[in-house]
Amino acid sequence: LNPFDRRLKRKQKNWAALQAEPAKCDYLREEVRGQGRRRGHLRCRGRTFPLALDVGSGRGYIAQHLNKETVEKLIQVDIAENALKNAVESEIPTVKVVADEEFLPFKEDTFDLVVSSLSLHWVNDLPKAFREIHQVLKPDGVFIGAMFGGDTLYELRCSLQLAELEREGGFSPHVSPFTAVADLGHLLARAGFNTLTVDTDEIQVNYPGLFEIMEDLQGKYILCMGESNCSWNRKPLLHRETMLAAAAIYQEMYGNSDGSVPATFQIYYMIGWKYHESQAKPAQRGSATVSFGDLAKIEGLLKRGKK
């Protein structure tokens, strides 16, 4: 029930927030932010949110891309105080609060909008986190979020597991566990959200080989973004022979024709609304006037209707 060491995660994020030139490590966040903004903008076009909440805000990756026409005031929440202290400036008024995503310190029906980008995959109790978000939303409020999916770094995970099985007779997790997309919509619905939209996207980055992937992940993406593995059952070290075997397996199983290897990041995007009586409601069961069996005849039905 508690796969992650949250105290270690807080230390990792605090350390990451103090690194020099952290903006160089934000390329993945920028891609996710752009995709998430396009999805959310289509569903919230022309709407202004007086008060919004950014859950797991980090250094304010979302706030710097908002404007006063969209959000009038933003509350930023993160478990790492250093991330909030070093947050990027924004044109909208912001208030910074150090708190855990699983225990939001706000009253019910407080926010018009809640956003979260690449933070909830480190939460131990995801159903509870969704319930907390739903609770602090006002009726007709909307939650827009993005998190890493179950196929993130699957090439690296499989290569390391096969190499450890071959060389050491067993394996330990080196990539943290992620939620499956099939569970996400169910969890959001159980939390009380309706008019749900859940979709996935993949961002693929090519590298010369496994060692370059590991160097980039540890030196840029993971360390600078505070994304180091904090699973309780993580293995701290990899033997050299195991790494060499994993590199060969990676190249053999996933290598591109030009000699490079891909690293895949799967992203889940989700949008859910808190119920309000003004929202559109689904038609009653059995109220349809056209059968699915008539879809093949739709052209004829339309012509008959015009006559």
* pLDDT grade for 305, boundaries at 50, 70 and 90: low
* pLDDT grade for 112, boundaries at 50, 70 and 90: very high
What is the average pLDDT value for the chain, to the nearest integer?
80
Q: Which CATH architecture does the domain made up of 6-278 adopt?
A: 3-Layer(aba) Sandwich (3.40)
What would the pLDDT profile of 161-192 be if each residue is shown by its tens digit? 898 888 877 665 555 556 778 888 899 999 99
The DSSP bridge pattern shows strands 52-55 and 94-98 to be: unpaired
Taking residues 86-114, what's their average pLDDT? 91
Q: What is the pTM of this model?
A: 0.77
Q: Which residue has the tokens 């895949």?
A: 264
Any idea where the domains of the chain sit in the sequence?
6-278
Q: Which residues have a Cβ under 8 Å from the Cβ of 98 and sit 6 or more positions away?
A: 77, 78, 79, 80, 81, 84
Judging by beta carbons within 10 Å of its beta carbon (0-12, 13-18, 19+), is residue 150 exposed, middle or buried?
middle
Q: Which residues have a Cβ under 8 Å from the Cβ of 215 and sit 6 or more positions away?
A: none
Whether pLDDT at 28 is above 80: no
Using alpha carbons, select from 158, 123, 94 the residue that is nearest to residue 5.
123
Taking residues 253-271, what's their average pLDDT? 92
Q: What is the phi/psi pair of residue 171, to 5°?
A: -140, 155
Sequential DSSP letters for 216-278 = HIIIIIHHHHT----BTT--S---HHHHHHHHHHHHHHH--TTS-EEEEEEEEEEEEE---TT
Task: Please name the helix (run of DSSP H) or strand (run of DSSP E) that holds residue 202, with its range, or none.
Answer: strand 194-207
Q: Which tokens hold the place of 200? A: 């996935």
Taking residues 14-39, what's their average pLDDT? 67
Q: Which residues have a Cβ under 8 Å from the Cβ of 29 and sit 6 or more positions away?
A: 61, 117, 118, 225
Helices (runs of H) and strands (runs of E) counted in the chain? 10, 7
pLDDT attached to residue 236: 56
